[in-house]
Amino acid sequence: METGIYAQQLELFQLFQPTNIKVCTSKFTFVDLFAGIGGFRIPLEELGGQCLGYSEIDKEAIKTYQNNFIKCNSEEIYLGDITNINKLPFEEIDILVGGVPCQPWSIAGKLLGLNDPRGKLWFNVFKLVKENQPKAFIFENVKGLTEPRNRASLNYIITNLTQAGYIIKYQVLNSYDFGLPQD
Ligand SMILES: C[S@@+](CC[C@H](N)C(=O)[O-])C[C@H]1O[C@@H](n2cnc3c(N)ncnc32)[C@H](O)[C@@H]1O
């Protein structure tokens, strides 16, 4: 048993045990850009991630996302339209993710690339990466972005993200190889 000054210190310490500090059980934090209905969120949560906030503009997607993921006492922030965000309101972000709209590079679209308003959303992505400096990021798009006709756009995206201070790797993956019914 402690005596004297140590006992007093111990007592004082026990008296001031904080009671309102939350136990953080998450392994990492992430922010979900172009969140859609949560395709990125499911695996990230399965891996122990905690979502800090999500950006999406489609009303039906937001409704589905909120019904599926947002608990009523959640402190998570709905971030709205990415074009209105200058800096994400978080001190530190482990991973920034986003399925950046892909129509400008898809053979199913008009192939306007960075001249398409949806292609320009990459500029908002660059801004947030530069401002917030997440530890890492993952952005998803269509295979078409890697094809020769879109090479200049892909190089431009890689250059901007590299200039923000990151090492960029990209890969074409087939969802079919991951157990999904889509080739
Ligand atoms: C390719 S989808 C992403 C799908 C998502 N990964 C999912 O699992 O559902 C792109 C999403 O970006 C959203 N979006 C388009 N413009 C946006 C903007 N200005 N701010 C935020 N989200 C936007 C679209 O509504 C769409 O849901």
- As a whole number, mean pLDDT of residues 159-179 equals 96
- As a whole number, mean pLDDT of residues 22-50 equals 92
State the average pLDDT for the chain: 90
- Check if 131 has its Cβ closer than 6 Å to any atom of ligand 1: no
pLDDT(6) > 50: yes
Contacts 24+ apart (CB under 8 A), 150-157: 150/105, 150/111, 150/113, 152/113, 153/105, 153/113, 153/114, 153/119, 156/114, 157/122
- As a whole number, mean pLDDT of residues 52-74 equals 94
Model pLDDT for residues 102-113, shown as the tens digit of each residue = 988 888 888 888
- As a whole number, mean pLDDT of residues 19-30 equals 72
pLDDT(20) > 60: no
pLDDT(23) > 50: yes
User: In the chain, what are the domains?
Assistant: 23-177 (3.40.50.150)
Distance 61 CA to ligand 1 centre (A): 8
- As a whole number, mean pLDDT of residues 41-60 equals 97
Q: What residues act catalytically?
A: 102
Instruction: Identify the pLDDT of residue 17.
Output: 52
Instruction: Identify the pLDDT of residue 9.
Output: 61
The one-letter amino acid at 170: Y
Ligand 1 pocket test, candidate residues 57, 68, 83, 102, most atoms within 8 A of CB = 57
**90 class by beta-carbon count within 10 Å (0-12 exposed, 13-18 middle, 19+ buried):** middle
Model pLDDT for residues 134-164, shown as the tens digit of each residue = 999 999 999 999 999 999 999 999 999 999 9
